[in-house]
């Protein structure tokens, strides 16, 4: 077995800012020796990384809710892993943790950086490693707080969620069902639509890839009383189609706009926005990190649903740090089915 002094840390660094869909040329493989663990710090081994659509935004120059990844820096990524060396009494070797690991095999953290890196222990009795990246992790928190705090669902209301078979979407739809809403998903392809209805219990799902006008026709059929809450993960034309069907006092949660992330022309904003005026409706953005001090409450609630079988959690696991550049693209082609996770090492 190798000692810390002989461990090599393989990494993926950002080599160049992409135009459109990222390619291999935007990345650079690197390796460096794992440094000594500082006093009060820990050495973590990466087990699995969360691949997120937001990564595309972090590759761009410019101001956002979080600074861009610099050229030459290790790509930012949330993940789960294990403590393999500790000089901190709060963390023992063998503890499982969640943190911003970066796309690399090891992370050495000084105590002063624990909070900034979101280091927290995770309990594998509550959920599996991959569930801690999905419904119990960042996407689950996004779905939970976006729906509950911004959407404020009431039993009997109609909730529409796009990206329905994805990480955030599956959480949103299942919580909305638990809260007594009628839930209509929007997803790409028959297989995903069938899964959200049959396995997750959504009332209906619209296949937006079924042809021109499919979303409009699907909303007409499945939302006869209109849309009270729209949880928007995709933006673009689908947002416009839903805007045309909202009810008075509707709430639209702007969570993401994945249809626009690789645009090489300016982002398409909503054309039907006057529907907000007519319907006295509101559209509000959400950034999950704002809810960090309440994550534990949502985790406790969702862990209960997982345990009693009211909630399912589907992850799509790809393997190997070096596959990161190709794996990331799956989010933008829709090849992922469930939360996309990159397994870096066996536990
Ligand atoms: N605001 C926040 O704090 C926050 C936090 C987390 C995530 N997000 C956002 O939430 C959204 C979902 O993220 P996720 O992690 O749950 O990803 P995901 O849904 O698991 O994966 C992305 C999915 O987006 C769909 N998609 C890709 N291109 C599309 C297009 N042109 N039109 C419509 N759908 C398209 C694909 O599904 P189909 O096969 O169905 O097309 C793909 O599987 C993203 O917009 C992300 O940026 C926001």
- CATH of residue 223's domain is 3.40.50.720
User: What is the DSSP secondary structure assignment for residue 65, as one 8-state letter?
Assistant: S
Tell me: pLDDT of 212 over 60: yes
- Asked whether residue 130 falls in the same domain as residue 157, the answer is no
The structure's pTM equals: 0.97
Mutate to test the pocket of ligand 1, among 256, 263, 298, 337 (most ligand atoms within 8 A of CB): 256
- The percent of residues above 70 in pLDDT, for the chain, comes to 99
Q: How far is CA 36 from CA 86, 144, 223, in A?
A: 11, 39, 59
- Asked whether residue 94 falls in the same domain as residue 179, the answer is no
Q: How far is CA 114 from CA 26, 254, 258, in A?
A: 29, 30, 30
Range of the domain at 121: 4-134+314-343
Please write the tens of the pLDDT for every residue from 134-193: 999 999 999 999 999 999 999 999 999 999 999 999 999 999 999 999 999 999 999 999
SS (H, E, C) 174-211: HHHHHCCCEEEEEECCHHHHHHHHHCCCCCEEEECCCC
CA of 233 to the centre of ligand 1 (A): 5
Tell me what the pLDDT averaged over the chain comes to: 97
**pLDDT higher at 1 or 80:** 80
- Tally of domains within the chain: 2
- Asked whether residue 281 falls in the same domain as residue 180, the answer is yes
Q: Confidence class of residue 268 from pLDDT cuts 50, 70 and 90?
A: confident
Q: Which of 123, 47, 38, 34 is nearest to 86 (CA)?
A: 38
- Asked whether residue 176 falls in the same domain as residue 275, the answer is yes
Q: Which protein residue has the closest C-alpha to ligand 1 atom 18?
A: 166
Q: Confidence class of residue 4 from pLDDT cuts 50, 70 and 90?
A: low
Q: What is the CATH number of the domain that holds 76?
A: 3.90.180.10
Tell me: pLDDT of 1 over 50: no
How many Å apart are CA 138 and CA 93, to the nearest integer?
A: 24
Mutate to test the pocket of ligand 1, among 146, 173, 233, 291 (most ligand atoms within 8 A of CB): 233
Tokens standing for 284? 């509000």
Please write the tens of the pLDDT for every residue from 238-258: 999 999 999 999 999 999 999
Name residues whose C-beta falls within 8 Å of residue 191's C-beta, 6 or more positions apart in sequence: 337
For residue 42, tell me if it sits in a domain.
yes
For residue 300, tell me if it sits in a domain.
no
Tell me: pLDDT of 113 over 60: yes
For residue 307, tell me if it sits in a domain.
no
For residue 193, tell me if it sits in a domain.
yes
């Amino acid at each position: 077995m190798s000692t810390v002094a002989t461990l090599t840390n393989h990494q993926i660094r950002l080599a160049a800012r992409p135009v459109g869909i990222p390619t291999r040329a935007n990345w650079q493989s690197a390796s460096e020796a794992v440094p000594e663990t500082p006093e009060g710090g820990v050495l973590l081994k990466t087990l699995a990384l969360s691949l997120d659509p937001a990564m595309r935004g972090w590759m761009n120059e410019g101001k956002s809710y979080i600074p861009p990844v610099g050229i030459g820096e290790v790509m930012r990524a949330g993940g789960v892993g294990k403590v393999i060396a500790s000089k901190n009494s709060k963390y023992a070797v063998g503890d499982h943790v969640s943190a911003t690991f970066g796309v690399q095999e090891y992370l050495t953290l000084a105590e002063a950086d624990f909070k900034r890196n979101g280091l927290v222990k995770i309990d594998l009795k509550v959920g599996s490693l991959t569930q801690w990246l999905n419904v119990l992790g960042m996407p689950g928190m996004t779905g939970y707080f976006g729906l509950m705090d911004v959407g404020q669902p009431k039993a009997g209301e109609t909730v529409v969620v796009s990206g329905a078979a994805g990480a955030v979407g599956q959480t949103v739809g299942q919580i909305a069902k638990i809260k007594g809403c009628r839930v209509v998903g929007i997803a790409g392809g028959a297989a995903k639509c069938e899964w959200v209805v049959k396995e997750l219990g959504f009332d209906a799902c619209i296949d937006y890839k079924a042809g021109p006008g499919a979303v409009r026709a699907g909303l007409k059929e499945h939302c006869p009383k209109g849309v009270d809450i729209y949880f928007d993960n995709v933006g673009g034309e689908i947002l416009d189609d839903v805007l045309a069907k909202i009810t008075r006092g509707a709430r639209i949660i702007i969570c993401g706009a994945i249809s626009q992330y690789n645009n090489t022309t300016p982002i398409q904003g909503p054309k039907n926005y006057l529907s907000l005026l007519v319907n006295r409706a509101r559209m509000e953005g959400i950034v999950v990190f704002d809810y960090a001090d309440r994550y534990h409450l949502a985790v406790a609630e969702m862990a209960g649903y997982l345990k009693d079988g009211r909630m399912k959690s589907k992850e799509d696991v790809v393997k190997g740090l070096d596959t990161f550049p190709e794996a990331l693209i799956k989010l933008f082609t829709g090849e992922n089915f469930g939360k996309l996770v990159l397994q870096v090492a066996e536990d």
